[in-house]
Amino acid sequence: MIPKETIDLILDTAKVEEVVGDYVTLKRQGGSLWACCPFHNEKTPSFHVVPSRGIYKCFGCGKSGTAVGFLMEYEKLSYYEALRYLAKKYNIEIKEEEESPEQLAARQRSESLMAVSEFARKFFCDQLQESEGHAVGYRYYRNRGITDATIERWSLGWAPSGRSTFVDAARAAGYKEEYLLAAGLAIKTEDDKLIDKFRERVMFPIHSVSGRVIAFSGRTLKAENQAKYVNSPETEIYVKSRNLMGIYFAKSEIAKQDRCILVEGNVDVVMMHQMGIGNVVASCGTSLTEEQIRLIKRFTENITIMYDGDSAGLHAAVRAIGLILKEGMNPRVVFLPDGDDPDSYSRKHTLEEIREFIATHEQDGIAFKTDLLLADAGDDPVKKASLINEIADTVADIPDAIKRQVYVDTVARRFGIEADIIQERVHKTRGSLQKRREMSGQAGHDARTGAPESPSLPSENPSLPAGTGNLLNRDRITDASEKELLGFIVRYGREPLNFETDSEFYSPDAVQTVAEFIDDALAADDTVFVNPVYQAAYEAYFEQYDKGIGQDDIVLDLLNGENREIAAVVADLATEKYELTVNNFSNALTTKESWLTTFVPRAILAYHEKRVTLMQNELMRRLPDATPQEQTDIMARLGKLTQMKKTINLKLGREKK
């Protein structure tokens, strides 16, 4: 681990304009710098860098943050990788904190395996230039249309035919046999001899997200009866289910286009990239896994599946759709014309034709699955009923309630049946899933984020009718108001609120700051934010605030912190051109002080009004299925909430007495 003093030195030394300036050309306008955004395509500069505050903000796509955040976003580095990058850039020595003997041994072993893998990459590349490699391997690549530039970029190579050619070279270079075995580059024979794992194969390295070679996939060129591909086994540095072929080369383009294209084969990935479609990955010769989907989710929530159109490809696509939906992501499917795969299709068409084909032929994942199963069911009513249940169960896997409802309505229209019938099956399936989670100890967590759900409002709370505060995470009605309150805290947290003596909030004993006033108002109601990231940012802010740290330093600490979700929220709030949701603000208030004393209390009232709306919606949802006595209680609670809402709106000036 990097010591905190070193982290502070790195963050204090790094200049956002210098880091960003390594990637884009910044032009000065007044005290700020502007450029065309590196995260999305644009012709008019909307990417804004403010050196005095150490932050950047794109007013086109919304990306914002500090130097460390820029590197994490653009280069797709981890927090500590970004810090090491900055330390190297500014010649700051990092002395790692003392490791335990076990930690040191594990790190050294991992580095040794990485070093062996890198040696193997170079060895296979060099062999491609030798007589055998050039005559066989190089000719194969060129016959497939792979250019010299692509061969070099992807480090494509050749494993020679000798039984121990690589092993002998590695031994001569000083690498221990145990690491050759542990890295999956050598195997032992029955007579205990060490021989090459890969022989007479064209070699495709598999890179980690950070670009280090961690495994290989070797393709035979022989027609005899042997495995077409031989892949590295799982090792301490390579877990098949967690890695994707091409992710290192694709990650920036995936984030930029906000879409990942998933293909099956190694050559498919390489050729699509060579054509100029850079947001493509493959699943390393394995069935798609949840871990691989989560890896993609670091860069986008949109996946287009482009598998072969044969039976195996169709089956794999259907399975992938379910996994992608479970992760709260958006699957689409596109199949190339019969007989083509991405490799062959890319060699027959131009870049524009390929992009046009994908754009006009890709289909929503659930719609694709529905059409496929309908064709199989034909006119058989039993099969059709089973199909409807299967599609409803697929919809039930979607974590987001709004997405689920949209799909329920879409599926109902597709089959010409009532949406309530689909909804009933979805509720039943989700209930079963919840019971299984409870039995496995996974209950009580937000399905979308995996974070603990926000606690319900206490029934004894005097300002809320009993029993109306549960299930607040069902909706995002309060999001805008929560964002507004957090925005006041991030920008004006330590500003004093000097209320006039005739104000209901005036206190002769003490003047509260904006942060204290909002915190007291929420604490009085035992309220926490529904949005878990906003709540985490709120708590992180007050952890610093209570230590007496200054406003600017708090914001910078949150922007540069390891929790990148909090950093993204704070960056957005600290830089956006803010518009209040409680008022269009046409009044010409002359001072910031009078503006804050007017709109901070209004923002709190507006937030409470949204919470009341949320509770009303929840009670209305429960009403149809309630018993007569329960309906009476619900109606009484709804009446109290309506009166509460009227009181709030009177204070906001939205209603007259």
What secondary structure does DSSP assign to 442-491, as a single string?
A: --SB-TTT-SBPPPPPPTT-TTS-TT--S-GGG--TTHHHHHHHHHHHHH
Whether 445 has a pLDDT exceeding 50, the answer reads no
Residue 51 included in any domain:
yes
Residue 571 included in any domain:
yes
Of 237, 267, 284, the position where a domain reaches its end is: 237
Of 237, 266, 290, the position where a domain reaches its end is: 237
Residue 626 included in any domain:
yes
pLDDT of residue 655: 65
pLDDT of residue 465: 31
Domain identity same for 183 and 207:
yes
Residue 614 — φ and ψ, nearest 5°? -60, -45
pLDDT of residue 51: 83
Domain identity same for 296 and 196:
no
Q: Do residues 400 and 359 make contact, with C-beta atoms less than 8 angstroms apart?
A: no
Whether 472 has a pLDDT exceeding 50, the answer reads no
Residue 646 — φ and ψ, nearest 5°? -65, -40
Residue 509 — φ and ψ, nearest 5°? -85, -35
CATH of the domain at 298: 3.40.1360.10
pLDDT of residue 18: 92
Sequence-distant (6+) residues with CB within 8 A of 459 are: 466, 467, 469
pLDDT of residue 128: 95
Instruction: Report d(CA 635, CA 638) in Å as an integer.
Output: 5
Q: Residue 6 is which amino acid?
A: T
Q: How many CB atoms lie within 10 A of CB 288?
A: 25
How many angstroms separate the Cα of 522 from the Cα of each of 457, 486, 561? 12, 12, 25
Report CA 249 to chain centroid distance, whole Å.
Answer: 17
- pLDDT tens figures, 76-131: 788 888 999 999 999 998 877 666 788 778 878 888 999 999 999 999 999 999 98
Instruction: Report which of residues 496 and 457 the model is more confident about.
Output: 496
Q: How many domains does the chain have?
A: 5
Residue 418 included in any domain:
yes
Domain identity same for 353 and 378:
no
DSSP helix/strand/coil, 505: coil
Whether 478 has a pLDDT exceeding 80, the answer reads no
pLDDT of residue 232: 94
pLDDT of residue 263: 94
Q: What token pair was written down for 538? A: 């709120």
Report the percent of the chain where pLDDT is more than 70: 89
What is the number of alpha carbons within 13 Å of residue 561 lying toward its C-beta? 21
Domain identity same for 184 and 301:
no
Domain identity same for 146 and 276:
no
Instruction: Report d(CA 604, CA 481) in Å as an integer.
Output: 8
Q: Which of 62-71, 233-242, 572-581, 583-592 has the lowest mean pLDDT?
A: 583-592
Average pLDDT of 530-547? 90
Average pLDDT of 528-553? 89
Residue 505 included in any domain:
yes
Q: Do residues 250 and 281 make contact, with C-beta atoms less than 8 angstroms apart?
A: yes
- pLDDT tens figures, 393-430: 888 888 888 888 888 888 888 888 888 888 888 888 88
What secondary structure does DSSP assign to 506-528, as a single string?
A: --SS-PPBHHHHHHHHHHTTT--
Domain identity same for 288 and 410:
no
Average pLDDT of 612-634? 84
Q: Residue 401: which of 471, 468, 467, 482 has the closest Cα? A: 471
Q: Do residues 559 and 66 make contact, with C-beta atoms less than 8 angstroms apart?
A: yes
- pLDDT tens figures, 192-214: 899 999 999 999 999 988 788 99
Most confident of the following: 173-187, 286-300, 567-581: 173-187
pLDDT of residue 138: 95
Q: How many CB atoms lie within 10 A of CB 98?
A: 9
pLDDT of residue 471: 31
Domain identity same for 130 and 73:
no
Q: Residue 261: which of 307, 208, 211, 327 has the closest Cα? A: 307
Domain identity same for 74 and 144:
no
For residues 322, 327, 329, 333, the Cα torsion angle rounded to the nearest 10 degrees is -20
Whether 168 has a pLDDT exceeding 90, the answer reads yes
DSSP annotation of 566 reads H
Instruction: Report d(CA 578, CA 125) in Å as an integer.
Output: 54
Domain identity same for 353 and 379:
no
- pLDDT tens figures, 312-364: 888 889 899 989 998 889 999 998 887 788 888 888 899 999 999 999 999 99
Domain identity same for 481 and 605:
yes
- pLDDT tens figures, 433-444: 777 766 655 443
Classify residue 29 as exposed, middle or buried by CB count within 10 Å of its CB (0-12, 13-18, 19+): exposed
Residue 177 included in any domain:
yes
Strand 229-231 to 213-220 pairing:
antiparallel
| 610: containing domain | 472-652
Domain identity same for 565 and 625:
yes
Integer Rg of the chain from CA:
29
CATH of the domain at 157: 3.90.980.10
Residue 549 included in any domain:
yes
Domain identity same for 232 and 342:
no
Q: What angle do CA 240, 243, 249 make, to 5 degrees?
A: 145
Average pLDDT of 469-485? 63
Q: How many CB atoms lie within 10 A of CB 8?
A: 12
Residue 435 included in any domain:
yes
- pLDDT tens figures, 11-30: 888 989 999 998 888 988 87
CATH of the domain at 26: 3.90.580.10
- pLDDT tens figures, 566-576: 888 898 888 75
Of 204, 237, 270, the position where a domain reaches its end is: 237
